[in-house]
Amino acid sequence: MHKDILSFRSAFQLLLMVGLSMAISSCTTGSQQGSQGTSSAEPSAESTGNVQQEFPLGGEPSLTRNFYFVFDGSGSMDEELNGTKKIDGAKKAVQEFMKSMPDDVNLDDVNLGLYVFCGQGRGEVLSLGLNKKKVFLEAINQVEAGNRTPLGQSIEIGAKKLEEQRAKQLGYGEYHLVVVTDGEATDNLSSGVKYAVSRGISIHAIGLGIGENHELNNPNYVVSYVAANDFAQLTKALVEAVQAESEKFDATDF
């Protein structure tokens, strides 16, 4: 009987030691995981705009900055501003913008993309990618003014392109949508803006020759709106848009 009690105590002590060992191991692992979870290398909820997004296999973490431009080449861009056709002045402004970027912002080190609506139609003329400064300029120079102003649809498409790129970068990096327009949208602008903002895409809008009174001029959902009254101001606004940091906005305010 005495031997049975000793055997029981021995077994119990062995189980207790094993249990303590497992608990210590679990706490250590949890502490390490918690430390890794707060690492600065991890994409935060703020950096992804609090967007729950599934990332594809084969993606790679990258801090590359992304700028997708929506360029208005509608019929009104054929009108003159200060003695120069808007389309011609805008093309020159984009060229000056490329040349005037500060040394610490190398546009060959960021992903550039371009969506245009103009006389030739509408669509993406340059997908997001590195080392595209030259082809970006070439694409802008080929734009011919004409047709309507589908800003809402264009903004939504631009946001989707940035979303796709964010998935490829596993949520890291920055995602900016730069919109250059000279008129009111001929479609549902609010729908496109809500789509972009709800997915954490920063919108930077530039109104060319149309003053402050534009539907995009609303700080509740647009990171910045600049009323460019001439082409020098357009160049300056483009530079500031590329230098700007992402901020969080509430799409319900639109």
Q: What is the 3-state secondary structure (H, E, C) of the chain?
A: CHHHHHHHHHHHHHHHHHHHHHHHHHHHHHHHHHHHHCCCCCCCCCCCCCCCCCCCCCCCCCCCEEEEEEEECCHHHHCEECCEEHHHHHHHHHHHHHHHCCCCCCHHHCEEEEEEEECCEEEEEEEEECCCHHHHHHHHHCCCCCCCCCHHHHHHHHHHHHHHHHHHCCCCCEEEEEEEECCCCCCCHHHHHHHHHHCCCEEEEEEECCCCCCCCCCCCCCCEEEEECCHHHHHHHHHHHHHCCCCCCCHHHC
- The pLDDT score that the predictor gives to residue 58 is 73
**Which stretches of the chain score pLDDT less than 70?**
1-57, 244-254
- The pLDDT score that the predictor gives to residue 102 is 77
Kindly report the pTM of this predicted structure: 0.76
pLDDT per position as a tens digit, 52-83: 566 666 789 999 999 999 999 999 999 999 99
Domain architecture of the chain: domains with CATH: 65-247 (3.40.50.410)
